[in-house]
Amino acid sequence: MTTKQQPRTASDQAMWDSVLGLHTFVERQLAHTLQRRFGVGLSEYRALEVLTRAEKGEHRMQELADRIGLGQSSVTRLVGRLESAGYAYKDTCDDDKRGVYAVITDAGRKHYQDARSTYADVLGSALDAASADDQLARAVRALRGA
């Protein structure tokens, strides 16, 4: 027996629209600043963050793709850009020669560390600015637990 779900309320839709608007607003601020100050896009920054936090500084390409919300072909190109910049490299899995890992370099760790405080500052400033916007303020309050 299948149960028919009730349609979402207008309130749910309004909140989701607010979350999406907030996401777009914040992502633009972060992407612009990271590119201008550090020469990396937001996805590259997030990949460096994930690799920095990884136990051995590496992830299988598919796992990295899943963690940063990209498809495998997109993450392959992304790691290629990081490799060209000297921030990461690709390595094969010892157990499964078909498996490919993205591995962060010391330069990649340093670049991430250099960008990290800027990312946090821009995130906080963008959320502060969004809280002054009537359409985005509700989502900011919900995220900040206010």
Separation CA 50–CA 60 (nearest Å): 11
* pLDDT of res. 93: 74
Bridge partners of 100?
Answer: 92
Q: What is the pLDDT of residues 89-103, one digit of tens each?
A: 999 877 766 789 999
| Residue at 123: amino acid letter | L
Separation CA 50–CA 66 (nearest Å): 11
Q: Can you tell me whether residue 4 is helix, strand or coil?
A: coil
CATH of domain 13-143: 1.10.10.10
Q: Where are the domains of the chain?
A: 13-143
Q: What is the pLDDT of residues 95-144, one digit of tens each?
A: 766 789 999 999 999 999 999 999 999 999 999 999 999 889 988 998 88
* pLDDT of res. 78: 97
* pLDDT of res. 122: 97
Instruction: Provide the whole-model pTM.
Output: 0.86
